[in-house]
Amino acid sequence: MLARTLATTCVQHIPAAHPYAASVTHRAVSTLPDPPVPGAPAGRWWPHPALEPDWPATTRADVVHLHFGFEHRSPDELHAWTQALRRAHIALVVTVHDLINPHLGPSRAYDALLDVVIPAADALTTLTTGAAAEIQRRWGRAAHVHPHPHVVAEDWLDRPRPAHEGWVAGVHAKSVRASLDVGAILAAARVIRDLPGGVLRLHVHEDVLDPTHPRHDTRLPELMRADDAVDVRVHGPLSDAELWADLLETDLALLPYRHATHSGWLEMCHDLGTDVLAADVGHLTSQRPVRAYTGNASLTAELVRAHAEHRRGVRPARPSPTTRRRERDEVRDLHAALYAEVLAGIRV
């Protein structure tokens, strides 16, 4: 019965080009690509045309599944959009990835957008029980909880981790978005230079070294000149293969977040068997096994502990490819069932 129902179901993910959307889509469900953005290069999905209030009247989608990329709209615009979906008899499913927008930080403006889309949704999903409890507390809505599917490609799920000398702690500062705590990176560098064989591998994009960049931080160039215990790699965005290869060679990934809800980066490390030390923010600690710190003192203690355990041969548990594929398939089944239920007029 479910397969027959899904055969005619058409879903518009927002955004469709995001890897998460593909990872949760059941093979029996048809999906629409992101509409072209006027004046933008091919492949760019933002600002998403499907969020325009007149779009629902023009689409053949039965379900809109909202993930990311709505922070540029106002509450009134989002309300008009959800009402347009109702008039067009299009169901709305929302996955609550971010209760705090990683690009904005704590923001009343973003909270006001969640105040529109979460109550309007026909079904909600999220990734952790902690986030679901927060959604229940703030909006009185139940959210279906499921694990984040694997992030790396299937043929990387059992890619061997190459042996190397020393102990590499890695952090990808990239373009230093609002959620990144540069101070924690500096603190980590001070600790790691005193650990035998310890190296901090710091990745940054070229743009943040430009003094005119909006998030230029003079402390990063200073750190880059520090000493041999800091391995600085300046480059543009890495390809998936380059990133995954780097994480396979990284013993501990540092996630120095000021704020977060969930983390796709944490999932990549879980896929590849890379140990993780993250700030104890949002719901990261209930997403996957992770070391957590709450300030410089605990950051120091956790780095020292991780280094000592590594030298004793302790390694994080890496899930088998079979386990990760099974999780992904279960998540796809969940979404397929949700689409069928909301199309049957059931608010779940």
Domain ranges of the chain: 2-149+326-343, 159-311
pTM of the model: 0.94
Residue 167 contacts residue 198 (beta carbons within 8 Å): yes
The mean per-residue pLDDT over the stretch 35-63 comes to 95
The mean per-residue pLDDT over the stretch 49-58 comes to 97
The CA-based dihedral angle spanning residues 260, 262, 263, 269, taken in that order and rounded to the nearest 10 degrees: 130
Residue 206 contacts residue 235 (beta carbons within 8 Å): yes
d(CA 77, CA 83) in angstroms, rounded, equals 10
Residue 258 contacts residue 178 (beta carbons within 8 Å): yes
Sorting pLDDT into bands at 50, 70 and 90, what band is 6? low
SS (H, E, C) 226-258: CCCCEEEEEECCCCHHHHHHHHHCCCEEEECEC
pLDDT for 223-280, tens place per residue? 777 677 899 999 999 999 999 999 999 999 999 999 999 999 999 999 999 999 999 9
Q: Is the peptide bond before 316 cis (omega within 30 degrees of 0)?
A: no
pLDDT of residue 266: 97
Write the DSSP assignment of 294-328 as a string of letters: SSHHHHHHHHHHHHHHHHTT-------HHHHHHHH
Sorting pLDDT into bands at 50, 70 and 90, what band is 222? confident
pLDDT of residue 4: 42
Residue 220 has pLDDT above 90, yes or no: no
What percent of the chain stands above pLDDT 70? 97
How many Cα neighbours within 13 Å face the side chain of 11? 31
User: Class assignment of domain 159-311?
Assistant: alpha beta
How many Cα neighbours within 13 Å face the side chain of 241? 1
Sorting pLDDT into bands at 50, 70 and 90, what band is 1? very low
d(CA 59, CA 50) in angstroms, rounded, equals 9
Q: What is the mean pLDDT of the chain?
A: 94
Out of 3.90.220, 1.25.40, 3.30.460, 3.40.50, which CATH number does the structure's domain 2-149+326-343 have?
Answer: 3.40.50
Residue 2 has pLDDT above 60, yes or no: no
**CA geometry: angle 171, 175, 180, nearest 5 deg:** 55
Sorting pLDDT into bands at 50, 70 and 90, what band is 159? very high
pLDDT for 166-181, tens place per residue? 999 999 999 998 899 9
pLDDT of residue 257: 97
pLDDT for 13-27, tens place per residue? 999 999 999 999 999
For CA atoms 152, 267, 188, 167, give the dihedral sign: negative
pLDDT of residue 5: 58
pLDDT of residue 7: 65
The mean per-residue pLDDT over the stretch 140-168 comes to 97
pLDDT of residue 228: 77
Same fold yes or no, 2-149+326-343 and 159-311: yes
